[in-house]
Chains A and B, each alone.
Chain A
Amino acid sequence: NAGVTQTPKFQVLKTGQSMTLQCAQDMNHNSMYWYRQDPGMGLRLIYYSASEGTTDKGEVPNGYNVSRLNKREFSLRLESAAPSQTSVYFCASSEYGLLAYGYTFGSGTRLTVV
């Protein structure tokens, strides 16, 4: 089925460890996004890539880096994990622009930092 695939689904890290969350979409969308979701706070945008070759900071970029590897893939890296980064991470994709029809979300990565 077409959609957004995120790996891994669950991860436990120790403080200071690094990891990369992977995201791939097969809908030929131009734009891709990383959000985090914390209880009672909705979704907050971490980074986005409006098109292949570009990345920009969102609302909460500190402690994260991203790579738009190609049109399909957009990865999120935590260089030195902190307990405050315990969250559920969602990747999404969409067509570019103001008339974007809607986002397609992955099923999420549940990350716990101890």
Chain B
Amino acid sequence: SQQGEEDPQALSIQEGENATMNCSYKTSINNLQWYRQNSGRGLVHLILIRSNEREKHSGRLRVTLDTSKKSSSLLITASRAADTASYFCATDGYKLSFGAGTTVTVRA
């Protein structure tokens, strides 16, 4: 399966700081998606980037994609306590494969 793997596994930052997490995958993709999961809740779709795109923005989120390195990054700028969650990348197609996620803790 085209599984995304997130790095780091966990991240702790101060409110107002930026948070960056990375995703690596194994085979060619058509798109890559990022999701957020708050504790005890379902996943929420954040952003999708297609293989012919290099960068995409949505509010305080910035996603990059480097298909030559088979990697993507998610940057959350000016983090807030509400950004405390697990973040997952997922690759491609009609049956997404998810990694184990990056757990982000934003300290007040």
Does chain A bind chain B?
yes
Question: Which A residues fall within an 8 A CB radius of B?
Answer: 4, 31, 33, 35, 40-45, 48, 50, 58-59, 90, 92, 94, 96-108
Chief secondary structure at chain B's binding surface: loop
**A102 and B33 contact, Cβ closer than 8 Å, known pairs A90-B43, A107-B41, A108-B42:** yes
Name the B residues within 8 Å of A104 (CB-CB).
Answer: 45
Question: Which B residues fall within an 8 A CB radius of A?
Answer: 1, 30-31, 33, 35, 40-45, 48, 88, 90, 92-101
Q: Separation in Å of the B37 CB from the closest CB of chain A?
A: 9
Given contacts A33-B96, A40-B100, 11 further A-B contacts (CB under 8 A): A31-B94, A98-B30, A98-B31, A101-B45, A101-B48, A102-B45, A102-B48, A103-B43, A105-B43, A107-B41, A108-B41
Question: Are A90 and B95 in contact, with the CB atoms below 8 A?
Answer: no
Question: Are A106 and B94 in contact, with the CB atoms below 8 A?
Answer: no
